[in-house]
Amino acid sequence: MAEKMVEKSTKTEKMTKVDKAEKTEKTGKQEKLEKAGKVDKMELAERDYTDPKNYVNRELSWLEFDFRILNEARDKSILLFERLKFLSITASNLDEFFMVRVASLKDQVHARYKKPDIAGLRPEEQLAKIGEKTHEFVNLQYSTYSRSLLPALKQQGLCVVWEHEDLDEKDGEFVDRFFHENVYPVLTPMAVDSSRPFPLIRNKSLNIAALVQKKGDEKEKDLEFAMVQVPSVLPRIVELPEGEDGEHRVILLEEIIERNMKDLFLNYNIVSAHPFRIMRNADFTLDEEEAEDLLVEIQKQLKKRQWGEVIRLEVEEKVDRRLLKILKRELSVGEEDIYEINGPLDLTFLMKMYGMAGFEGLKSPSYTPQPVPELMNDDDIFANIRKGDILLHHPYETFDPVVNFVRSASKDPNVLAIKQTLYRVSGHSPIVAALAEAADNGKQVSVLVELKARFDEENNINWAKMLEKAGCHVIYGLVGLKTHCKITLVVRREEDGIRRYVHLGTGNYNDSTAKLYTDCGLMTCAPQYGEDATAVFNMLSGYSEPPTWNKLSLAPLWLRSRFIKMIRRETEHARQGRSAHIMAKMNSLCDKEIIANLYEASCAGVKIELVVRGICCLRAGVPGLSENISVHSIVGNFLEHARIFYFENDGSSEVYMGSADWMPRNLDKRVEIMFPVEDPELKERVIHILKVQLEDNVKAHILQPDGTYEKVDKRGKTLVMAQNQFCEEAIANARAYSAGNDVYNTRVFVPAEA
Amino acid sequence: MVRTFAAIDVGSFELELGIFEISDKNGIRAVDHVKHMIALGRDTFRDGKISYRLVEETCGVLEDFVRIMKEYQVEDYRAYATSAMREARNSQIVLEQIRVRTGIEVKIISNSEQRFISYKAIAAKEAEFQKIIQQGTAIVDVGFGSMQVSLFDKDALVMTQSLPLGVLRLKEFLANARASAEVEHSLVKELVDNELMTFRKMYLKDREFKNVIAIGEPILTLYYKTEAGKRKEQLTAEEFDHFYARIKSMTKDQLEDAFDVNGEYAQMLFPTASIYKRMLDITGAQMIWVPGIRMVDGMAAEYAEDKKMLKFNHDFSNDIIVASKNIARRYKCQMSHVQAVEDSALKLFDTLKRYHGMKSRERLLLQIAVNLHACGKFVTMRDALDCAYNIIMSTEIIGLSHVEREIVANVVKYHDQKFRYNEVEVSAKPSRDSRLVNPENLTLMIAKLTAILRLANSMDRSHLNKLADCKLNVRENQLVISTDYSGDVTLEAISIAEKGDFFEEIFGVRPVLRQKKKV
């Protein structure tokens, strides 16, 4: 014991003294290098891994991510309707980005919060850069829409009528009738004059603003402001009667309303009318990543404000300047926050267009998740887990086993208890139903429901109440922490005593998103995992930490130091001249401590290959800093979501999966679990997943030293498209398994066992 | 057959629940374990009673324990409370509250029972335990408020002693001192040495020690918080020295990092290591074993033993007897006489089984009473009985509950004076799972044991062990004590006749001495 303790404490000491160690090491190296006469002092100065200039601002990196999605919308090799979908995603992404991130930065500015971010930028500097880049982004969005997608759609027989002015007489009559029958009854026109104040305009709603003039007052110059909200209860896309050659034609709802504005304000002449849309800093949900002192400050600020301030105003490009002036004044929005749009506002309607019937050839054929070979037999799921750990790779493989796991447990007479963490579940979740049934069947059911899941609170509260009514023990989250880990524990009484079955995952227990998000899961009944799982739920119920963990690492208490330790272990190996390699896949990478350690590892010679879908504050491939680090980013039909970590560890490699990204919020403010994959065969499969993703040269973008992303140069290479390859592999695996049991193949009848 | 058992420890700083599976095949297997910090001790030690607020919290936690017990469908449980509850004035009310609210019946156990349970947990690790105690071994149980040292010599427990040295106590003392790290280290050493030196003078003398077994909550922190999987349970003295030196050189922050504990615990690491370090130095032990057990483990072991699902190779009853013999020796009792009385008493007990209906636990108490019956004379010959009573009541006899200690003390007190039924006092209440045959009527039981001890004592009235080979037979209403001894047994005969009335009053048989005539 003492040996271990001593060893460990030396390590820790090393950690705490790392800065010092870095410095002494630097001077040591400096001497060597200066002797070699290769490097001048300037370059050495760059060796300060924590220097802000070695980092990328996370918001700008996020915008880069949206750019990559936009790239997919611009990629002509992709099916047209898929491109519509990608464009729609960029728009909804941007909306969320504004509501959460930009709003938060605005708050910081108002609170006079000056603390620079990871890249050394103060909030106002960040806002300025974001504004600049967002304008550029929006321009590209709309040029993609009007110059690329609209013509292509027309070619495929779908015509989007740009403006109501373009309608011919017949169509005009059609839309007017449509207006009076369907739209008019739900509209609430509002005029503004001295007796009626400027109305409250709802966040994210689409509106039409008009300048109006009282009839009979034509000579006077008094113009009044009037507006009407485009009702969100009606579909935005209105189909027109088919054209001569059977062409599908559609027009947007706001155009129809604009055309009929005069009927809404009968006593007025409409001078001009234009759609506009605002985004408010209104929902007051603060991102948990900001410092707590900031939170208090912001709350004070919020009280002073009556409405959430407007942080973005979108208007038509050719908007009447007088109208814009009124909007600008009434909404008190700055010049930099105004976006003049050349096209329809709010492109999320494209998702609806994707859903239009009749263009199936322009959409990717839907993929059916494949059965898991280990479970393709008549044994129950528990018997199958007892045969060995099972790895699940969604959505290539079906999510059914996870649902089935809970469902079987709810009915199995030997099951004593089911415990699960639920973060975001689908509307009619079969898992929630199974849990309720289990409680009904007299099982002890404990569920930790995370209510703080963004945008999902209400949904969560409803079914949590339902579970409680069914007799489940429901824990409504933890104070100050979000429970983000995904773990299910089934306690079963078997002949030789209690046995525990555990499912650990990288994605939420949500059967709908499991069809779209790529995630991994592990099912096991290894006692050490079971003990740890029990300890996790004991801790989530408020009990003290267990004396020791066997396999799992938990945030916020142990995970960060665990990662750092493993990265440093590779660094150590590289320094001693041994081979050292890290592969890691995650959604976001923006933790400064981790990045600094990766830089250090890179400089020591560790090969670091990262697959980061979204935000990445690390600079890759910078000489003298990160030349051994590469960052790949895959944007595909499925949303990359799994977190996988590989460490070479001098030949006895370790593979982990988990729920945490390398982000401060994951490591410090959330309950997360990282778990090892130890079965040699499964480990190989997980490493295979990483390798194929790193080989992807169709969907992958590579992060350049300057912070931009570029697609891989495909010339002379076999094309690798990771997501497609995984689909094919899953199909082949399932087929190979059923072929093995196929009478036509084996030409042998197999008697069923009793 | 697998049996599920729950052990609840209502401790001074924590409430703990352990769920165990006990089977013939796999022995005892821990299935689940939860801990909840709740400082009952702080209330008791400060105000002498437990506040309503804490009772409330305790009930809440215990209710949740019940939920967990249901989850595992446990078939039986034991719930023990230790010093905080033991010393609280309102313990009876608190326990009743707990019973009504949660359905859990908590038993207050004595310090010596508590320690004994720990030994059973160690002993459940059979192989190592048996090996280690072949040589002189000290079990050192350092707690937050006090420590307990128990000595094993040649396979048997010989002595146990409680010392007022606990890590929390030391830590708080240091907090007041506000000394530099350097001074702090020497302060701890002096404090520890002061207590331990006295202890050595009184009890260790020339005994030789090879091993220390370290148990108790604080050492667990040191034990578990090292790198998982590669724990080493046994260290040489030299290895421990290195370890101690490391801890000594670390700042509080470094300790927090290295052992992954909060500041509160970090500050207790050095005092903990110090106590063990000094213990190793003073005893000269070469090896320290940290078996990593806690009270709930011991409770499971005890339960398994009681239910005959587990058999210890180690004879715990023998420990208790050896320990009581050592107490007798300390008070200079004449051991040959003690041995003679013990033989006779046990013979009487076994012969009269049908007449007294008592079982092994009572037999053990009788044996202890015999061993201690004359210890009062060490203090004064005149009030020897009262002195003996007081000595027994203030001596820890390992493995005995408080009730049992009172029984022994009363048996000794009345063995040589008139038995006054109405004056026999037993203040403690026997628990739900008492091992006594008839815990409802303790006075009667004391009377029975007293009668046996009295007769056995008179059978060696001359202290010459004349009746060593006597035979006992019950014929009609007589207990016939027949002996081949050829010398004079007048003293014994008179003495036996004297005690005859009381004996007959209790058992309905009259003792008669028959000396066989040599042909």
Give per-residue pLDDT as tens, B343-377: 989 988 998 888 888 888 889 999 999 999 888 88
User: Taking CB atoms and an 8 Å cutoff, what residues of chain A touch B230?
Assistant: 4
CA distance B204 to B197: 10
Q: Give contacts of A 304-343 with B, CB under 8 A.
A: none
- Going from the C-alpha of A643 to that of each of A5, A413, A658, A690, B130, the distances in angstroms are 31, 35, 6, 10, 49
Q: Give contacts of A 473-512 with B, CB under 8 A.
A: 473, 491, 493, 496-498
Q: What was the pLDDT predicted at B96? A: 93
Q: What was the pLDDT predicted at B433? A: 63
Chain-chain contact of A9 with B34 (C-beta, under 8 angstroms) = no
Q: What was the pLDDT predicted at A749? A: 65
The answer to whether residue A15 neighbours chain B at the CB level (below 8 Å) is yes
In a mutational test of the A interface, the residue from B68, B262, B280, B309 whose CB has the highest number of chain A CBs within 10 Å is B68
CB neighbour burial string for B128-158, b if at least 16 within 10 angstroms, e if fewer: ebeebbebbbbbbbbbbbbbbbbbbbeebbb
Give the other-Cβ count within 10 Å of A415's Cβ.
Answer: 21
Considering only A220-224, B321-325, B335-339, which range has the smallest mean pLDDT?
Answer: A220-224
Residue A54 has what DSSP assignment? G
- Inter-residue contact A162 to A316 (CB < 8 Å): no
Chain-chain contact of B222 with A417 (C-beta, under 8 angstroms) = no
Chain-chain contact of A1 with B290 (C-beta, under 8 angstroms) = yes
Q: What was the pLDDT predicted at A751? A: 67
Give the other-Cβ count within 10 Å of A658's Cβ.
Answer: 29
Decide if pLDDT at B381 tops 50.
yes
Chain-chain contact of A548 with B228 (C-beta, under 8 angstroms) = yes
Give tens-digit pLDDT for B27-75: 888 899 998 888 787 777 777 888 889 999 999 999 999 999 998 999 9
Chain-chain contact of A2 with B242 (C-beta, under 8 angstroms) = yes
The answer to whether residue A544 neighbours chain B at the CB level (below 8 Å) is yes
Could you tell me where the DSSP H helices lie in B72-102?
83-87, 91-102
User: Taking CB atoms and an 8 Å cutoff, what residues of chain A touch B266?
Assistant: none
User: Taking CB atoms and an 8 Å cutoff, what residues of chain B touch A16?
Assistant: 253-254, 257
User: Smallest Cβ distance to B258: which of A8, A491, A550?
Assistant: A8
Q: CA angle at residue B223 from B219 to B229, to 5 degrees? A: 165
Nearest CA in chain B to A11: B258
- Going from the C-alpha of B213 to that of each of B151, B286, B291, the distances in angstroms are 10, 11, 7
In a mutational test of the A interface, the residue from B217, B247, B260, B296 whose CB has the highest number of chain A CBs within 10 Å is B260
- Inter-residue contact A609 to A579 (CB < 8 Å): no
Pair of tokens at residue A392: 């699940």
User: Taking CB atoms and an 8 Å cutoff, what residues of chain A touch B223?
Assistant: 1
Task: Give per-10-residue mean pLDDT for chain A (754 aa).
Answer: 40 40 42 43 56 91 93 90 92 89 85 87 92 93 92 89 84 91 89 78 88 76 86 90 81 91 88 90 52 50 58 90 90 89 90 86 89 90 94 93 94 94 78 91 89 59 81 83 91 91 92 89 94 93 84 90 92 93 95 94 94 94 92 92 94 94 90 94 94 92 91 85 92 82 60 61
Higher-confidence residue of B300 and A283: namely: B300
Catalytic residues of A: 484
User: Smallest Cβ distance to B227: which of A8, A493, A542?
Assistant: A8
Q: What was the pLDDT predicted at A196? A: 77
Q: What was the pLDDT predicted at A675? A: 96
Long-range interactions of B165-169: CB distance < 8 A, separation 24+: B165/B191, B165/B192, B165/B195, B165/B196, B165/B275, B166/B142, B167/B142, B167/B143, B167/B218, B167/B268, B167/B271, B167/B272, B167/B275, B168/B144, B168/B268, B169/B144, B169/B145
Chain-chain contact of B23 with A497 (C-beta, under 8 angstroms) = yes
Q: What was the pLDDT predicted at A360? A: 85
Higher-confidence residue of B495 and A25: namely: B495
- Inter-residue contact B192 to B278 (CB < 8 Å): yes
User: Taking CB atoms and an 8 Å cutoff, what residues of chain B touch A496?
Assistant: 2, 23, 25-26
The answer to whether residue A538 neighbours chain B at the CB level (below 8 Å) is yes
Region B490-506 average pLDDT? 87
The answer to whether residue A547 neighbours chain B at the CB level (below 8 Å) is yes
Q: What confidence category does residue B473 fall into, taking pLDDT thresholds of 50, 70 and 90?
A: confident
- Going from the C-alpha of A606 to that of each of A14, A566, A580, A694, the distances in angstroms are 19, 12, 5, 17
Q: Give contacts of A 630-669 with B, CB under 8 A.
A: none
Nearest CA in chain A to B249: A9
Considering only A43-47, B16-20, B182-186, B315-319, which range has the smallest mean pLDDT?
Answer: A43-47
- Inter-residue contact A642 to A520 (CB < 8 Å): yes
Amino acid letter, residue A424: R
For A249-281, give the secondary structure using H, E and C.
EEEEHHHHHHHCHHHHCCCEEEEEEEEEEEEEE
CA distance A493 to chain B (A): 8
Chain-chain contact of B258 with A9 (C-beta, under 8 angstroms) = yes
Q: What was the pLDDT predicted at A591? A: 93
Q: What was the pLDDT predicted at A290? A: 46
Pair of tokens at residue B122: 């160690």
Residue A642 has what DSSP assignment? -
Give the pTM: 0.80
User: Smallest Cβ distance to A4: which of B71, B231, B254?
Assistant: B231
In a mutational test of the B interface, the residue from A543, A562, A568 whose CB has the highest number of chain B CBs within 10 Å is A543
In a mutational test of the B interface, the residue from A548, A557, A558, A568 whose CB has the highest number of chain B CBs within 10 Å is A548
CA distance A437 to A443: 9
For A586-637, give the secondary structure using H, E and C.
ECCECCHHHHHHHHHHHHHCCEEEEEECCCECECCCCCCCCCCEEEEEECCC
User: Taking CB atoms and an 8 Å cutoff, what residues of chain A touch B225?
Assistant: 547-548
Could you tell me where the DSSP H helices lie in A144-235?
150-155, 169-178
Q: What was the pLDDT predicted at A415? A: 94
